[in-house]
Amino acid sequence: MEDKQKTLSDYRLQKAKEDLEAAKITFEHHKLAQSVNRSYYAFFHAVRALLAYDLFDSKRHSSVIGYFNQQYVATGKIGKEYYKMLARAFDKRMKSDYHDFYSVTKEEAREQLDNAGVFIDLIEKYIEDHYVYKGL
């Protein structure tokens, strides 16, 4: 494993955790749209942490999500339910950020926040099992 890949992955995973913490704080302060935004970015940075090992990156969120789906979900390495979590988070973030009069419910924000934590844990374990401990 290249040290650069691990360093980049670790940095992105830390960003994901910071975004998750920000999502929790904004949720607790009833800032639901902001919580949805930050929880989505927790998903996004977690995926990018994984993709650092593939030397893949893109500024386009749809490209990152598509690559994750093709290389990890379609191949059976990661369950489809995790792709669905990510896709729903992306959709909610887009609606919340860009659609006038779209209102996030407390239940939606809570679900996305919880899913982001589960997703980060999954990605962190996948990296540990497939890259860190194998010395790749």
C-beta separation of 119 from 43 below 8 A: yes
Tell me the pTM.
0.93
- The CATH number covering residue 12 comes to 1.20.120.330
Residue whose tokens read 């679900």: 111
Q: What is the domain range of residue 107?
A: 3-132
Per-residue pLDDT of the chain (136 residues), as tens digits, is: 578 999 999 999 999 999 999 999 999 999 999 999 999 999 999 999 999 999 999 989 999 999 999 999 999 999 999 999 999 999 999 999 999 999 999 999 999 999 999 999 999 999 999 987 555 5
At position 114, the amino acid (one-letter code) is D
Q: How many domains does the chain have?
A: 1
Apex 87 CA angle, 5 and 55, nearest 5 = 15
